[in-house]
Structure 1
Amino acid sequence: MWRCLLLGWLCSLSLVGLAQEFKVTDTATLTQALTRAQDGDTIVLATAVYEGNFTVSRAIHLKGEAGATLDTLRQGSALTIAAPKVIVEGLNIRHWGRDLYYHDAGILLQSGADEVLIKGNRLVGDGFGIYGEQLNAPRIMQNSISGNGAIYVLDRGDGVFLKHVSAPQVQDNHFIFVRDGVYLESVTDSQIHHNQFAKLQYGIHYMYTRGDEASNNQAISVDGGYALMNSQHIFLHHNKVSQARDFGILLNITNDAHIQANIATEVVNPQGSVELGNEGKGIFIYAAQNNRIEANEFSHSDTGISMAMGGEANRLWHNRIVANQTQVKYVGEAQLEWSYQGQGNYWSEYQGWDSNGDGLGDIAHRPNDSLDKLFWLYPEAKLLMESPVVLLLRWVERQFQPTGVSGVSDSFPLMGWKTEEMGNEPFQQ
């Protein structure tokens, strides 16, 4: 028995020792090296342009010197990975196809290409940047992925598209002119951190995902920052979005998420209106339940917080709602309390006082009155908004603090912004 074990050990040592490094200089030698490579080998691409479609079928390290470029001549995918534990590093990849039905991509990850590392590459093309299905633990780090800004946004490929993938890591990448920066469908336990998104639809788009975390990402000049749709247990924290058109954060039929310490500012739709519901929203809560929304900033947008279609069962406190054209839009029939354990939110328009110096307003804050709801339900009445009678009715309602009226109330409004944060651990319901 011990002889068999010794023989196996010696064989493994010999295989490690056989790992080789190949340097290639043109398309023919690259194709040949990919055909002959064994697990553990390294292929170094010299500075040159390598034209065609290439496939990696062994667990190798594919590494480019400065200027090493794969050019697919606008047909199909540039690099297909069909083996686990492949490393792709330092390549320029360009001109792959744009057929989204056939998943044309700069890097196409086939089923079973587990634990791949895609690091420090520059991808420029019309289709998907990186596309993968049925994978475990891919790592996508420090890449630049650019689509084609001349193509209508919904006809572009996503920067990273992952479906039925567990534990992916997407970190320190730059995305521009793609459809969604990172699109995740039926994914679990993703980690998405320190990415930059610009000139695209959504920075991160979750669909049917669970147990994900995203932090320290920045999105600018996008349709929406972070879209959480039909998902559960997402920890979204310390992200920023500015100059968006539709929303900063979207919770659409998403439950048990923890939304903490994010900033959504300057979310403005010049063609939208709050009466029609197509204005820019700092956060849009739509049929989402049991989410914890704390210590965020929603500022300088068309609407700070918008809630609709059964989004009442959420907890909101310690948020900063500042200088939005409409601070809150809610047209439901429930009376909502937006505070927790004697702590509410900071409202820039609050006009109450703090007589005992405890940092909380002495009277509850109601960001909307019953007339706001009337105008949202009947947009044609907007012409009356600034009439003397309407202004008088608004003043009367503020003075008497009516009870039993549907809408949002904060019984403990903060007089100043709480700079301390509530911790970085996911909330346990």
Structure 2
Amino acid sequence: MNTVTSGVNFRLFYRTAKQLCVSAGIGLLLCPASFAANYSVHDSDSLTQQLKTVSAGDTVSLQAGNYLGHFEIHQPIQLIGEPGAVIDAKGTGSAISVFSSDVSLTSLKIQNWGGDLYELNAGILIKEQAQRVRIESSKLQGDGFGIYAENTSHITVANNVITGNGRLYKLDRGDGVYLKGVDVSVIHDNQISDVRDGVYLETSTNSLVFDNRFHSAQYGIHYMYTKHDEAYGNQVNNVDGGYAIMSSEFVNLHQNQAANTLDFGVLLNISNHCIVSNNRMSLGHNPQGTPELGNEGKGIFIYGARDNEITYNLFSTSDIGIYMAMGGEKNKVYGNQFVNNKTQVKYVGDALLEWSHDGRGNYWSGYMGWDTNHDGIADKAYRPNDNLDKLFWLYPEARFLMNSPVVALLRWVQGQFEFGPATGIIDSFPLLTTDREL
């Protein structure tokens, strides 16, 4: 990278020419040699001064060394870190604040920014209306938000390692990537850990989040009041919840994984028109979970959500495979595999729900049904729960009776006669094979 050492006259000509290109509506790339310059800085003072005098389209490179303080970008430039360059915010405020659109931040190492979430302390703080900002191949470690953006569009976060402070209580940490009111964001191939939420999206639209790795956080991806989002290829491990979709619409969550979750793999909370398909959710377990509190580990938790599709997922080895409550009846649930969950289904509602579609139901481990025509579908409908299960959910103090001879007799009688209107879950076409790879 060349260091520009031209005199005052050249600088004046250079900037005047660039301004003429911009004022004439000519893109910088069409101007002679783009009038772009490369600058190299070596300490905090030279970086601060260069950011004050840099022009649109320029590149600023950080030589190896420590850059202490807080830095602001007001022009559409590229900021690149060379090996050994470290930006250190000295424990306060935001390390880099971006005020301009069309900024690219690459190969930076940023650390030790502030932890005041109310003041929006962040490793990289993207100000309102600073559009088309790209952050890639960087390492960020600090207490507050890793990357924060609000009321803007076209934000890209790619190939970064973002680490919070694992010694802090989870809700006191900042999120790895926090986007509020952001339209069109692409977040991919990042490793994010020890934060509050890996990626938090609020009142945002058209996000694409893929191939990220999250661990040691509250949630991997958290949607709140969002629309038209997509997430795939993400992996979540050792979190409270994998993918939380709250008060959102048209979220397409597919081909993701979550394991070792405390509360849920997927949460659909008062969300509509979402698709949850071909995901693998396993090992949802809460050691302190109790039926009284309803806080057992769940593969998927559907709460007050309707008109969603839950298809071709694997929900395995959790306290509860699928938990549905508070008006979650109007959803399509078919083609899924419920494997070795302590309780396959928990639904304490007053409706009879059909969990099959076009002659295809779900696979239930432990269910032994007849298949006389060898089509892989049981001849008889499957009821994963009965009225006695519902009774024990409502009155968990009676669970000690579950394996008693009296309850066994009541289950037999219930199977012979129907008392009152049928409620619960029925799968009219339960699958006997797992022929679809997940």
* TM score, norm. by length of structure 2: 0.92
Q: For each residue in 1:116-141, what CA deviation from the matched residue of structure 2 results, as whole angstroms up to 9, or x when unmatched?
A: 11001100000000001011110000
Relative distance call for 1:9 and 1:242 in structure 2 (3 A) is closer
1:381 aligns with one of 398, 404, 428 = 398
Q: CA deviation at 1:234?
A: 0.4
Q: CA deviation at 1:405?
A: 1.7
User: What RMSD in Å do the two structures reach over aligned CA positions?
Assistant: 1.8
Task: Find the counterpart in structure 2 of residue 76 from structure 1.
Answer: 93
- Which amino acid letter does the alignment assign opposite residue 301 of structure 2? F
CA distance in 2, matches of 1:9, 1:333: 65
2:356 aligns with one of 339, 346, 351 = 339
Q: Secondary structure at the match of 1:221?
A: strand
**Farther off after superposition, 398-407 or 86-95:** 398-407
* Larger strand fraction of residues: 2
**Farther off after superposition, 7-16 or 188-197:** 7-16
The answer to whether structure 1 residue 110 and structure 2 residue 127 are counterparts is yes
* TM score, norm. by length of structure 1: 0.94
The answer to whether structure 1 residue 353 and structure 2 residue 370 are counterparts is yes
Relative distance call for 1:139 and 1:9 in structure 2 (3 A) is closer
The question of whether the paired residues in 1 share the 8 Å contact of 2:99 and 2:126 is answered with yes
Task: Find the counterpart in structure 1 of residue 114 from structure 2.
Answer: 97
Q: For each residue in 1:371-396, what CA deviation from the matched residue of structure 2 results, as whole angstroms up to 9, or x when unmatched?
A: 11001111221222221101222244
The answer to whether structure 1 residue 414 and structure 2 residue 431 are counterparts is yes
The question of whether the paired residues in 2 share the 8 Å contact of 1:275 and 1:375 is answered with no
Q: CA deviation at 1:418?
A: 3.0
The question of whether the paired residues in 2 share the 8 Å contact of 1:211 and 1:234 is answered with yes
CA distance in 1, matches of 2:171, 2:131: 29
Task: Find the counterpart in structure 2 of residue 171 from structure 1.
Answer: 188
Q: Secondary structure at the match of 2:322?
A: strand
Q: CA deviation at 1:402?
A: 7.5
The question of whether the paired residues in 2 share the 8 Å contact of 1:276 and 1:379 is answered with no
CA distance in 1, matches of 2:353, 2:92: 55
Q: CA deviation at 1:112?
A: 1.4
The question of whether the paired residues in 1 share the 8 Å contact of 2:212 and 2:235 is answered with yes
Q: CA deviation at 1:41?
A: 0.2
Q: For each residue in 1:214-234, what CA deviation from the matched residue of structure 2 results, as whole angstroms up to 9, or x when unmatched?
A: 000000000000000000000
What stretches of structure 2 of length at least 5 have no aligned partner? 1-19
CA distance in 2, matches of 1:156, 1:111: 22
Task: Find the counterpart in structure 1 of residue 5 from structure 2.
Answer: none
Residues 136-285 of structure 1 aligned to structure 2 (within 5 Å): 136-285=153-302
CA distance in 2, matches of 1:337, 1:377: 22
Q: CA deviation at 1:15?
A: 6.4
CA distance in 2, matches of 1:365, 1:123: 51
Q: Secondary structure at the match of 2:92?
A: coil
Relative distance call for 1:11 and 1:271 in structure 2 (3 A) is closer
Q: CA deviation at 1:400?
A: 5.9
Q: Secondary structure at the match of 1:22?
A: strand
The answer to whether structure 1 residue 288 and structure 2 residue 305 are counterparts is yes
CA distance in 1, matches of 2:127, 2:25: 32
The question of whether the paired residues in 2 share the 8 Å contact of 1:359 and 1:415 is answered with yes
- Which amino acid letter does the alignment assign opposite residue 162 of structure 2? I
Q: Secondary structure at the match of 1:190?
A: strand
Q: CA deviation at 1:23?
A: 0.6
Task: Find the counterpart in structure 1 of residue 16 from structure 2.
Answer: none
2:338 aligns with one of 321, 324, 328 = 321
CA distance in 1, matches of 2:71, 2:24: 34
Q: For each residue in 1:375-426, what CA deviation from the matched residue of structure 2 results, as whole angstroms up to 9, or x when unmatched?
A: 11112212222211012222443466879420000000001013257xxxxx
The question of whether the paired residues in 1 share the 8 Å contact of 2:291 and 2:396 is answered with no
Identity across aligned pairs (percent)?
Answer: 51
The question of whether the paired residues in 2 share the 8 Å contact of 1:16 and 1:40 is answered with no
Relative distance call for 1:11 and 1:256 in structure 2 (3 A) is closer
Q: For each residue in 1:139-191, what CA deviation from the matched residue of structure 2 results, as whole angstroms up to 9, or x when unmatched?
A: 00001000011000000000000000001111000110000000000000000
Q: CA deviation at 1:8?
A: 4.6
1:368 aligns with one of 385, 394, 404 = 385
Aligned pair count?
Answer: 417
Q: CA deviation at 1:370?
A: 0.8
Task: Find the counterpart in structure 1 of residue 61 from structure 2.
Answer: 44
CA distance in 1, matches of 2:338, 2:90: 50
- Which amino acid letter does the alignment assign opposite residue 114 of structure 1? Q
CA distance in 1, matches of 2:258, 2:436: 19
CA distance in 2, matches of 1:403, 1:343: 28
CA distance in 1, matches of 2:266, 2:171: 19
What stretches of structure 1 of length at least 5 have no aligned partner? 422-429
The question of whether the paired residues in 1 share the 8 Å contact of 2:78 and 2:103 is answered with yes
